[in-house]
């Protein structure tokens, strides 16, 4: 079970997000290796966190899978296309912990505010997942699952770092036509999505696929649809974002490891 985060006041977890807040997914299909990358007890890991922020009406839709409301969305960012490396990659807001952060929730909220301008006061943390280890950077990344109870305006804060801040409809990500498995040239296989001209893969794609696996919202999709990552990114104008196997290289973390 995910580590529960007591909501402030008497505000409870929206019913449509309850499974996501209470369960940590595992890779039962063999298509999501990100979920199994935990740091060894003696690993010299550095703490980091990402904010997996869902918005939408708090009321569940009784006629939809898992009660998912029609306006459900998730917050993503896309790195600037002018960067010399990793241009155009899609990520959750997040990054490395600062000494003054009071745990991963504080890290995720601070980073999200710095990157997108969101007001942390409107975000209700629901749960934290166990850290996911990123070996080259030695980051142990805690996904912070949260609900955007009072949405605020968001946009790109630093255009030298990011070119888009996107509130992506969850229904679009769940559409089987937008889901597939990517094959990296170095042998990596992992879940991916296409949405709004972007390819979401690697660390971010793995977390989203993990959320969907326990959510009750998921629509069956074709896991035998395996696509070459290089050509898929090139077709989306994101060819330069392919450098390392995505389970080893997170765009959310790379900015704090330059």
Q: What is the CATH number of the domain that holds 95?
A: 3.90.79.10
Report d(CA 107, CA 164) in Å as an integer: 21
Report d(CA 79, CA 84) in Å as an integer: 11
In tens, the pLDDT along 134-169 reads 776 678 899 999 999 999 999 999 887 788 999 999
Here the tokens at position 51 are 């904010």
In tens, the pLDDT along 91-144 reads 999 989 999 999 999 999 999 999 999 999 999 999 999 999 877 667 889 999
Report d(CA 55, CA 148) in Å as an integer: 5
Report d(CA 258, CA 253) in Å as an integer: 9
Report d(CA 82, CA 86) in Å as an integer: 10
Strand 123-128 relative to strand 90-91, pairing: unpaired
Strand 46-55 relative to strand 139-148, pairing: parallel
Residue 136 confidence (pLDDT)? 63
Alpha-carbon 192 to chain mean position: 12
> Do residues 56 and 72 make contact, with C-beta atoms less than 8 angstroms apart?
yes
R_g over Cα of the chain = 17
Higher pLDDT, 133 or 212: 212
- Segment holding 84, helix H or strand E: none
Residue 63 lies in domain: 3-254
In tens, the pLDDT along 228-255 reads 999 999 998 886 666 544 444 444 444 4
As for how many domains the chain has, the answer is 1
Report d(CA 154, CA 65) in Å as an integer: 28
Res. 10 pLDDT band, cuts 50 70 90: very low
Report d(CA 1, CA 18) in Å as an integer: 12
Question: Half-sphere exposure (CA, 13 Å, Cβ side) for 63?
Answer: 1
Mean pLDDT of the chain: 86
């Amino acid at each position: 079970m995910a580590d529960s985060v007591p909501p402030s006041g008497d505000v409870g977890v929206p019913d449509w997000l309850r499974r996501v807040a209470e369960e940590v997914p595992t890779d039962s299909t063999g298509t999501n290796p990100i979920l199994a990358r935990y740091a060894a007890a003696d690993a010299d890991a550095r703490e980091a966190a990402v904010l997996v922020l869902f918005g939408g009406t708090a009321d569940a839709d009784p006629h939809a899978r898992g009660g998912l409301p029609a306006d459900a969305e998730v917050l993503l960012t896309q790195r600037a296309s002018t960067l010399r490396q990793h241009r155009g990659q899609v990520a959750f807001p997040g990054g490395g912990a600062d000494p003054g952060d009071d745990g991963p929730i504080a890290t995720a909220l601070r980073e999200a505010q710095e990157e997108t301008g969101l007001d942390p006061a409107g975000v209700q943390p629901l749960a934290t997942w166990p850290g996911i280890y990123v070996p080259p950077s030695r980051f142990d990344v805690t996904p912070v699952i949260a609900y955007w109870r009072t949405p605020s305006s968001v946009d790109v804060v630093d255009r030298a770092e990011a070119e888009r801040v996107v509130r992506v409809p969850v229904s679009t990500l769940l559409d089987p036509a937008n889901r597939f498995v990517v094959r990296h040239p170095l042998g990596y296989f992992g879940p991916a999505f296409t949405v709004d001209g972007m390819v979401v893969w690697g660390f971010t794609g793995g977390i989203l696929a993990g959320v969907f696996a326990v959510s009750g919202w998921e629509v069956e999709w074709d896991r035998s649809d395996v696509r070459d990552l290089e050509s898929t990114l090139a077709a989306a104008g994101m060819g330069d974002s392919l450098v390392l196997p995505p389970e080893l290289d997170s765009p959310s973390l790379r900015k704090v490891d330059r």
